[in-house]
Structures are given as C-alpha cells and as structure tokens.
Chains A and B, each alone.
Chain A
Amino acid sequence: MLLPALFLIIGLLLGFMTNFTIPDVYSNYLSIAVLAALDTLFGGIRAQLEAKFDQKVFISGFFFNVSLAAFLAFLGVQLGIDLYLAAIFAFGVRLFQNLAIIRRILLDKYYLYKKSKKSNDISTNSTLK
C-alpha cells in the first residue's frame, strides 16, 4: 500500500523538479489523460477490494484509456466538436461510481471489524466474569 503512494510522490516531485511545461494547446490532452489515469487507478483499487484484480487488465486499461482519451480529444479538435467533453463526462461518472463502490466496501469492512471487535469484547468480558 505504501509503494504506490511513494511512487506517486516521486512522480509529483519529478514533475515539479523538472519544471517541465507543455504548450497550452496540448494541456487539454494531458488533462484528459490524467482523468483517464485516475479512472483506471480507482478502478484498480475497486477491483482489488472486490478481490478480482487482474494486472493485465489494469495495465492495458491504463494505457488504452489514456491513449483513447487523448485520441478522442484530438479527433474532437480536428472535427470542431468538443469530443473531449464526452470523455470527461464518461470518466467523471465512472470515477464517482468507483469511488462510491470503494466507499461502500470500506464501510462494510469497517462495520464488520467493529462487530467482530464488539463480539470479542463481549466474549472476553464474559470469560472474565
């Protein structure tokens, strides 16, 4: 669990240290790519919590989603349609859905944990008496 966070921080540091910027024209693509990446990441977390995580699906999903989103944005620019809005919408909805499911799973786990602790307490209490 610590490793991804560490890598995230390293990535952030790398980005800030290099002070690398891209032209304004391409910031659209990057923003949508970030959204796609976040979507994949949360999808991965959810899959992990549901115990059906598949590394191949995760990695391929990451690159495929990111490139597809960038391509969609590119196509939209060429056609004069704000297609990237469609991608933002889709990814945004999925992001929130994944977050909601993750939250529910975590809540369930928390309740289960609390319950087991309580029952443990009761049992220990009863043994004490």
Chain B
Amino acid sequence: MKNVITKQKLMIGFVCLLIGFMVAILFNTNQQPVDRETRDTWEIRSALQEEQKMQQNLYQEIAIAEKMLLEYQEQTEHQQIDSLKESIEALQKEAGLTEIVGNGVVLTIEPLFLDEGYQEFPSLNAELLQLFINDLNAYGANEMAVGNQRIVNITPIRDVNGEVYVNNSSIGSLPVEIRVLTKDTERLINHIEVSEINDYFALENVTISFKEQEKIKLPKYEGTINFKDVQLGDVPEEGES
C-alpha cells in the first residue's frame, strides 16, 4: 500500500515538474527584452548633437517669430499692413510662388551614345529624377526647376505613360535642363562630380553636364497649393518659463 502511494505521489510530482518547466519556459519566452539599445556612445552622442542642433534651429525660429510679433504690436495700422504684406511676400518666395533670380548651376541631362551599334534613344524615369533632386537638395541646392517647372515642397514627379511628369505636366524627352540655385556652386558641382548618381544615370544611357552661371531665372510655381488637409496645429497655452 505504501508503495502505491509513493508511486502516485511521484506521478503527481512528475506532472507538477512538467507544469513548472512549461511555466518557466513560457515566462522566459515572454520576458525577452523587446528592443535592445545597440548604439554605442559615439552614435548616441552624435544623435544627441543632431537633436541639439534641431533644438537650436527651433529656438531661432521662435526668436524670429517673436520678433515679428513684437514688430506687429508696436506698429501703427498702416505699418502693420505693410509688414504683413512683406511677410506674405517672404512666405510666397519661400514657397516658390514667385520668380527668383540667383547664382547657381545649370545641369543638362543628355542622352549618352556609346559606339555599340544599335541603341535605343534613352529616356529618363521618375525615380531617377527624384533621386537626383534629393541628392541636389542634400548638396545644398536652395531652389530648382526642371525644365519650366519649379520644384516646390509638394511637387509630384511621376511616370505617366512612359514620360516623366513634373508638376503634372510632361518635361518632354531628353535633353532636360535642371536649373539649380545655390549659395555654394563649387561645392554642389564637386558633389555631383563624385556622386554615385552618375553611375545610375549611365545605366540608363544618360549623362549629366553642368555649367556654372550667374543670374539664373527660375519660373514660379504655376499651380495652387491645396490647403484642404492643412490644419492648424495645437497651440499650447503660453505659460511662464
């Protein structure tokens, strides 16, 4: 009889062991850290620096806005209207709604013919153009226009029926002229010369040539900017700081 009881107890013990084991595994599995911080000190430091830079920029923007506000408050009505008009002009200029003249580079995207007998006439595609424009922005381009289309913040670049459309109108076939305004033309040109984008263009049998030019005139953005989905951000209550 005693033997039976011990066997029974052993069996229950075995089941308990299994349960404990399963629970422990389940616990282990659920306690795995989800996301581990893998950046080293240097990466964190540079990330921090970037954030600080951004903060600095924001502070500057706030300072400018506050200065403008102060100006408005101190002026008479007539002056207020004038400065409002000024602000509107400045904003329009920034948004690309005005013609603009400045120093920069004129880039021409041309077909590249190799001596390999038969070759199709090369064409541009939207992705490549987008990549190029992003690169130009990264290299310090302030304003640019593709053909006669000014590039603004909301400019769409699409492939439509085998043609590249910028601002919803075709830029035609090659060669295409891109006019870029920049403060530092030399830097921009150097960057383009060593950029990988040349290889990508070469894959499509296209090449870029550029010349520095003063007083380049960029057309204004012809479309209207749709403010349908633009909403006022939440303005937090101003408090003592």
Contact = CB atoms under 8 A, between A and B. Distances in A.
B25 interface: yes
Interface residues on B, range: 20 to 34
A61 to B, nearest CB: 10
Main secondary structure of the interface of B (DSSP, over half): helix
A30 to B, nearest CB: 5
B28 A8 contact: no
Interface residues of A, number: 33
B24 A7 contact: no
B15 A14 contact: no
A33 interface: yes
A40 B18 CA distance: 12
A20 B15 contact: no
A22 interface: yes
Interface in B6-33: 7-30, 32
A21 interface: yes
- Please indicate which of the listed interface residues B12, B24, B29, B30 has the most CB atoms of chain A within 10 Å of its own CB: B12
Given A11-B22, A41-B16, A58-B12, 5 more contacts: A10-B20, A11-B17, A11-B24, A15-B27, A44-B12
Interface of A: 3-16, 19-22, 24, 27, 30-31, 33-34, 37-38, 40-41, 44, 55, 58-59, 62
21 contacts: A6-B13, A7-B13, A10-B20, A11-B16, A11-B17, A12-B20, A12-B24, A14-B17, A14-B21, A16-B24, A19-B28, A21-B29, A22-B25, A27-B29, A30-B25, A34-B19, A34-B26, A37-B19, A41-B19, A44-B15, A58-B12
